[in-house]
Amino acid sequence: MEMAEVKPEEITHPPMDQLHGLEYCIDSNPSWGEAIALGFQHYILALGTAVMIPTLLVHLMGGTDDDKVKVVQTLLFVSGINTLLQTLFGTRLPIVIGGSYAFVVPIISIIHDSSLAQITDDHERFLQTMRAIQGALIVSSSIQIILGYSQLWGICSRFFSPLGMVPVVSLVGFGLFDRGFPVVGRCVEIGIPMLILFIASSQYLKHLHIRRWPILERFSLLITIVIIWIYAYLLTVGGAYKHRPERTQVNCRTDRANLISSAPWIKIPYPLQWGAPTFNAGHSFGMMAAVLVSLIESTGAFKAAARLASATPPPAHVLSRGIGWQGIGILLDGLFGTASGSTVSVENVGLLGSTRVGSRRVTQISACFMIFFSIMGKFGAFFASIPFTIFAAVYCVLFGLVAAVGLSLLQFTNMNSMRNLFIVGVSIFLGLSVPQYFFRYTLSAQHGPAHTNAGWFNDYINTIFSSPPTVALIVAVFLDNTLDFEDAAADRGMPWWTRFRTFKGDSRNEEFYTLPFNLNRFFAPS
């Protein structure tokens, strides 16, 4: 039987403020049992970055496996606190705050500083380097605190349009492509089964219900991680990697993390646990670039999280409030010594879409898991020993989902306009191409393209232009506000966007973004 021909006028997909098909939005909650299980799933997902960043940095600093475990615990503990602060008093979106790779460039620059590199005792070098990183984080956090609480970032957001935000939000996901399949390829026998199993269970088998409960749609991440983790353990104990290269063993074996043996049973991280921070103007200036990158990446992630939680786009003052609290979060990173600054966890934003649960309560529960398991060291280390290849397979799906949310903003713009096609195409291409150039140059020359006698200037340029969303924002917002913009308001999507700029512009804003405990009386929306 032939399908009925669809006439062009029947093809209508009207633009929608909120995504449909989500089971729970920002302020509706699943049952407590389901919320706790979903919160644990968010915690497990956040472990990937929480383990990977210290693994990358601590040994370069001269630290031991014991030091690495302590840094992982501290990063998780502070991430839990920052997530609670952001969901209670910041944007109030259901987001997880985690470590940020944006800080790696200035931190490696501090590690290689001649005054620290010449310290012969490894443990002393680790402590001195950690204190230098802490000092730089404490000083540079003031950038986000000032831009946030002064409402300056909200004022800057006047120059953003749906068209300008498409490349930024999309590249928050697309820009992390090197943490997806390239990492899966390091251990294909674990990574590819994980990728296939996760897609199959979360998409093709999502209608499989147990007692009317969509268990695979909600918990496919948890279920597939457990299955592949057991499979990886069996390969390890079966001797599959006994005579394989060291790189393969590190990526595939379940006993190479050295976390469980090094972890204490109970340890509460506390401020200044590594000693008093040291302050250096050059280090702080370099770190400020990473703070700006973190701010832009988080702005894109806030927009994506709002759509995946079925909320309205955050108004300008809510955006500023969230950035202000994120600045407080980076200040806490500096005080506790996490060896990295923080940003919105993109993978956890993607998980909102995969589970179709955008509940704020779920991410607050995940924050409690972070704090609890960072104190109970052995238990936390057990979960943190999951091979990173498993997380990379999941990232292939979740980062792609966040990128697609950015592309969904195109529905509010006129994509039959050559002006708009030019802006979107050029900003996405340069957003991917420029950081790739910086990455390859650094890999071959062992330093970034900016290589002058001023170390802080090098860190600034190399950090800013190594971030896809940051390059995309610079290009897209500049072009969008200078190229034939006088008569292009409707093409850019401004009529739809304008009412969400202010708190009173849309009646739903109050429902989603009002502060708890009647605090709006003291912090009235401006």
Q: Summarize pLDDT for 231-251 with one digit per residue, the tens.
A: 998 988 888 888 788 777 778
Question: What whole-number distance in Å separates Cα of residue 447 and Cα of residue 467?
Answer: 16
Question: What whole-number distance in Å separates Cα of residue 410 and Cα of residue 363?
Answer: 28
Vertex 192 angle, CA 186 and 197, to 5°: 145
Question: What whole-number distance in Å separates Cα of residue 102 and Cα of residue 140?
Answer: 13
Let me know: does 33 contact 370? Beta carbons within 8 Å. no
Q: 210: which strand partners?
A: 213
Give the pLDDT score at 1.
46
Q: Which helix (H) or strand (E) holds 98?
A: strand 97-99
Give the pLDDT score at 140.
96
**3-class DSSP state of 213:** strand
Give the position of tokens 């002006």: 419
Question: What whole-number distance in Å separates Cα of residue 195 and Cα of residue 325?
Answer: 35
Give the position of tokens 């597939």: 224
**69 phi, psi to nearest 5 deg:** -60, -45
Give the pLDDT score at 414.
92
DSSP designation for 203: I
Q: Record the pTM.
A: 0.93
Torsion, CA 308, CA 43, CA 99, CA 467, rounded to 10: -30
Give the pLDDT score at 6.
61
Closest alpha carbon to 350 in 194, 169, 476 = 169
Give the pLDDT score at 238.
87
**3-class DSSP state of 499:** coil
Give the pLDDT score at 524.
62
Tell the burial category of 433 from Cβ atoms under 10 Å away from its Cβ (0-12, 13-18, 19+).
exposed
Question: What whole-number distance in Å separates Cα of residue 105 and Cα of residue 458?
Answer: 10
Give the pLDDT score at 38.
96
DSSP line for 172-201:
HHHTTGGGSHHHHGGGHHHHHHHHHHHHII
Give the pLDDT score at 13.
75
Tally the C-alpha atoms within 13 A of residue 162's C-alpha that lie toward its C-beta.
27
Give the pLDDT score at 256.
66
Residues in the chain predicted with pLDDT less than 50, given as ranges, are 1
Structure tokens at 328: 């407080």
Question: What whole-number distance in Å separates Cα of residue 38 and Cα of residue 178?
Answer: 27
